[in-house]
Amino acid sequence: MDDVESSGFGSSPRDGPSFERGPPLERIESVFTIHELRTEDERLLYYGDPRMHPERAMRELWPVFREAGYEPQLTTRHGEYVLVAEPIDIGIDGIPWTNIVLLLATVLSTLFAGSMWYHNDPLASPTAMLEAWPFTVAILGVLGIHEMGHYAMSRYHEVDASLPYFLPIPTLIGTMGAVIRLKGRMPNRKALFDIGVAGPLAGLVATVVVTIIGLHLPPVVASPELVQDPSSIQIRLGYPPLLEFLASVLDRPLYRNDPTTSVNPVVIGAWVGMFVTFLNLIPVGQLDGGHILRAITGEFHETISALVPGALFALAAYLYYVGGYSLQTVFIWIFWGVLTAVFARAGAAHPVDDSRLGTGRVIIGLVTFGFGLLCFMPVPLEIVQ
């Protein structure tokens, strides 16, 4: 039986040790009439009725419970309102084995994928994968720092968040990125904004550093036999304005028109960081851009988010019908058009305190979206046989 403590209004369990750790009952009863108290494991359950609109009651009660170390949620059970208070736990419980296993798997998958950029065959010589370690460090570095930006700001605002989960996938870069899992509701727009913006900005700083390092490393040269092999595949990358700018300032070549020579794979890792930054800043749903937009514009974000899938589908159609690119090349925007439609339908986070942001954060948000545009490329990559 889950219920280990139960009482009617005014009976002795009201003074029990569990509820002594919670907020003072008189503060709760100023906005929520309590009929019954129960506990489930470490959760405190208050059965009763709000004295005002439920959303307003939650806004009033949220800081009261947070001050006592609990996160409240108002729900219903059998037609009755129940205020469920769960202890806040923003630490790491035990060894995060899932995170570690996924990280190790992503190390292997990026080493395998990175071998291709160094023109090695990992199937013929598995130890050749080790030569791709700079590529792996670059990829995991920019992705990991991006997610740790979210994690650090989540801890700052006392929002429970997991460590990053890396996603090993057999793609051209060996991964689909990394994610963290947020639990509970956002306390206010400031927390939503800070957590959303911290990842792209932290990841972008790491990406610029990796770009500078990669541009100073020697290029990779393919053998004449490999270039002339009719079965070989050539991958053409589109370079975003930020990468073009850094290469120009540093006076480093990008080897666009030389089929035998390409940039160092560390630059490919930086390219991934820029592309991930742009994708995450798409202003829709639970993406970083969706969090930032929701924090800045409030409910108006739904109107903007609804336009995003159509814009991506239009981009794919333009590239296919006007630009003459293959369906394989433009499919990435079709895929993201579908994905953002799903994200838009799911919606963004709803902070408990929906007060407006200050001007400073709004400016930072607009600048961050500007950085996202500098990471945009209409044709990210093109495969030529």
pLDDT at residue 143 in the model: 96
Q: Give the model confidence (pLDDT) of 351-370 as tens digits.
A: 888 889 999 999 999 999 99
DSSP 1-56: --EEEEEETTSGGGGSHHHHSS--HHHHHTTEEEEEEEEETTEEEEEEEESS-HHH
State the Cα–Cα distance between residues 156 and 150, nearest whole angstrom.
Answer: 10
Helical H segments across 68-188, by residue range: 97-117, 133-156
**Joined tokens for residue 265:** 């794979």
| Residue 224 clears pLDDT 80, i.e. is over it | no
State the Cα–Cα distance between residues 76 and 78, nearest whole angstrom.
Answer: 7
Which amino acid, one-letter code, is at 342? Answer: V
Residues 6+ apart with CB under 8 A from 366: none
Rounded mean pLDDT of the chain?
87
**Joined tokens for residue 117:** 């950029």
Mean pLDDT score, 75-81: 87
| Residue 348 clears pLDDT 90, i.e. is over it | no
| Residue 49 clears pLDDT 70, i.e. is over it | yes
* CA-derived radius of gyration, the chain: 25
Between 100 and 301, the higher pLDDT residue: 100
| Residue 4 clears pLDDT 70, i.e. is over it | no
State the Cα–Cα distance between residues 132 and 357, nearest whole angstrom.
Answer: 44
| Residue 223 clears pLDDT 80, i.e. is over it | no
DSSP class of residue 122? Answer: T
> Residue 71: which pLDDT band, with cuts at 50, 70 and 90?
confident
SS3 annotation, 326-360:
CHHHHHHHHHHHHHHHHHHHHCCCCCCECCCCCHH
Stated pTM of the model:
0.84
Least confident of 227-231, 323-327, 377-381: 227-231
| Residue 142 clears pLDDT 70, i.e. is over it | yes
| 327-346 helix and 301-317 helix, angle to the nearest 10 degrees | 170
- Size of the chain in residues: 385
Reduced to 3 states (helix: H, G, I; strand: E, B; else coil), residue 262 is strand
Reduced to 3 states (helix: H, G, I; strand: E, B; else coil), residue 166 is strand
> Residue 38: which pLDDT band, with cuts at 50, 70 and 90?
confident
Q: Is 192 exposed, middle or buried (0-12, 13-18, 19+ CB in 10 A)?
A: buried
Least confident of 135-139, 168-172, 205-209, 322-326: 168-172
Between 300 and 244, the higher pLDDT residue: 244
Between 152 and 230, the higher pLDDT residue: 152
Mean pLDDT score, 163-174: 90
DSSP class of residue 182? Answer: B
Neighbours of 163 (CB within 10 A): 18
Q: CB of 313 within 8 A of CB of 331?
A: no
pLDDT at residue 22 in the model: 81
| Residue 304 clears pLDDT 80, i.e. is over it | yes
DSSP class of residue 379? Answer: S
Least confident of 2-11, 216-225, 324-333, 350-359: 2-11
Strand partners, 47: 36, 82
State the Cα–Cα distance between residues 272 and 292, nearest whole angstrom.
Answer: 22
| Residue 323 clears pLDDT 80, i.e. is over it | yes
Closest by CA to 354, choosing from 299, 310, 286, is: 299
DSSP class of residue 285? Answer: T
Residue with tokens 């129960």: 38
pLDDT at residue 15 in the model: 42
Q: CB of 233 within 8 A of CB of 385?
A: yes
Residues 6+ apart with CB under 8 A from 88: 66, 69, 70, 71, 158, 160
Question: Residue 58, Cα to own-chain centre: how many angstroms?
Answer: 27
Mean pLDDT score, 53-72: 86
State the Cα–Cα distance between residues 140 and 161, nearest whole angstrom.
Answer: 19
What percentage of residues in the chain have a pLDDT greater than 70?
91
pLDDT at residue 307 in the model: 94
Mean pLDDT score, 21-42: 86
Mean pLDDT score, 147-153: 94
φ/ψ region of 206 (left if φ > 0, alpha if ψ in -120 to 50, else beta) reads alpha
What percentage of residues in the chain have a pLDDT greater than 90?
51
